[in-house]
Amino acid sequence: MSRDTLRVLEIYLDDHWAGAAAGLALARRLRSHNRDTEWNPRLSECVAEIEEDSRTLAQIRRDLGFEGGGLKRLAALAGERVSSLKPNGRIFTYSPLSRVLECEALQAGVSAKRSLWASLSEVYGSDPEMFGYDFDELVARADRQLELLGSFHAYAAEIAFR
């Protein structure tokens, strides 16, 4: 792999690693605000999978010797925290609108993660010595997460808008 290709790949993985930090924080917040719903077990499982995906991405970065990206990651986490302060129709309590918007943001993040795994699968999937990861399984897991979040979104929209 050329030095230019490695640099582009490093930037790409750093961007996704930053997004993974924000997405994981958002997933944990969504789970926390829905502990008392029937969705808690499924959201907890989804959070555990997102944690595992984040660890996998961090390991891929380490495998390639990529050590930067910390500032992007901190900026993404700060952005996620700031986004939780947006007006949601309520000042001190969790709003049904928050549930919808958090779910939509998490769906966007999981969709981006799915694209990451699909890109790596297309380029390196037939080269097990490059990474040794089952990118197709990671794509399938992202698909399952998106399916769950789609169902949860329908639930959230029903609560918020009916």
Please list the ranges in the chain whose pLDDT falls under 70.
68-93, 128-130
- At 21, list the tokens: 């930090």
pLDDT of 160 reads: 95
Number of other residues whose CB lies within 10 A of the CB of residue 9: 19
The model carries a pTM of 0.87
- At 146, list the tokens: 């998106």
pLDDT of 115 reads: 98
In angstroms, the CA 120 to CA 128 distance is 11
pLDDT of 78 reads: 60
pLDDT of 93 reads: 64
Tell me which residue of 19, 28, 43 sits closest to 109, measured CA to CA: 19
Measured in degrees and rounded to the nearest 5, phi and psi for residue 135 equal: -65, -30
pLDDT of 2 reads: 85
pLDDT of 70 reads: 64
- What DSSP string runs through 47-94? HHHHHHHHHHHHHHHHHTT----HHHHHHHHHHHHHHTTS--S-SSS-
